[in-house]
Amino acid sequence: MSALRHKAASGNVPLAAKASSSVRSSLEEGAVTVEPRLTQTDEALQKIRSRIIDLTMAPGSRIDEPLLLSDFGLGRTPAREAINRLVAEGFVNVLPNRGGTFVRKLDLEEIGQIVVAHQLAENVLGQLCNLDDESMADDLMDIQNRYEKAVKKLDYLLITALNEDFHLRIHSSMGNSFFFDFAQSTHRHVRRLNVHLYKLESAEPQARDEQFSRNLREHELIIDAVRKKDRSVLTSLLPQHARGTQDRLVRILQSKSVPGFSVETRLADMLASGFSKE
């Protein structure tokens, strides 16, 4: 979404998803900004992407032109365009041998790649974000207030959308559209992973609530460091915050009976690119 390529110090808060020209859809209410009106394909794409992220469209489920026509009212050409864009974003795969297009599965190899990309994005962010962006701290606080309300409602789609907004607001300060596109793509996939983790953590409400409290506390520390223009804190805190996804994944896998692999060995292999938990 090129409209999200926010220039440093412009003061516009990027949105993880929009269902109209001016407001997030009812699924992701609360973040507002004025944007050019979206095309029918753009609006359908955002709805499909949200269904994939919140697992309404389960990994491995089929997405085809008749479905897009019946559920989203897309014609053949817009439907093909939407599918092509979802393929480009890495959310669906075209499998000719199975005769269709399917929501991409979240296997361990894929999860490992998402975790590494996420940690890379946040490591770079701490080093290169523009601390002279005077509106950034206030924008982050505004997002944080809405994030806290979403946590109270246990609205996982909105929680992950606002978390994405929070981090992309900092990324936008860099004024680097190439890196912003990488960060945005990465955070979209982190959202789907986080929704899955939150649903698994729902079996242990105390652990889930502790995770939300940790997220809120770390966001507050990030906002404080941005306000104080303390890069040394950010270069430590942002990577640490990103590693929380990896730590949650390890904890969940270790608590489940998952046959066929050693959690420690497989995660070590997946994360062998240089990012560690220390």
CATH match for 26-103 among 1.10.3720.10, 2.40.10.10, 1.10.10.10, 3.30.70.580: 1.10.10.10
CA-closest candidate to residue 270, choices 117, 92, 88, 91: 117
Q: Is domain 108-270 in CATH 1.20.120.530, yes or no?
A: yes
Bigger pLDDT: 27 or 72?
72
CA-closest candidate to residue 135, choices 241, 4, 33, 223: 223
Of 1-5, 82-86, 121-125, where does the model show the most confidence?
121-125
Domain ranges within the chain, ordered by starting residue:
26-103, 108-270
User: What gap in Å lies between CA 44 and CA 67, rounded to an integer?
Assistant: 12
pTM comes to 0.76
Bigger pLDDT: 179 or 60?
179
Instruction: Report, in this order, helix, strand and coil percent for the chain, each rounded to 5.
Output: 65, 5, 30
CA-closest candidate to residue 148, choices 219, 80, 84, 63: 219
CA-closest candidate to residue 83, choices 38, 37, 41: 41
Q: What is the residue-averaged pLDDT of the chain?
A: 80
CB burial class (10 A; 0-12, 13-18, 19+) of residue 86?
buried
Asked if residues 113 and 245 have their Cβ atoms less than 8 Å apart, the reply is no
Interval 10-55: pLDDT, tens? 333 335 533 333 323 333 444 434 455 778 778 888 888 988 998 8
Interval 142-187: pLDDT, tens? 999 999 999 999 999 999 999 999 999 999 999 999 999 999 999 9
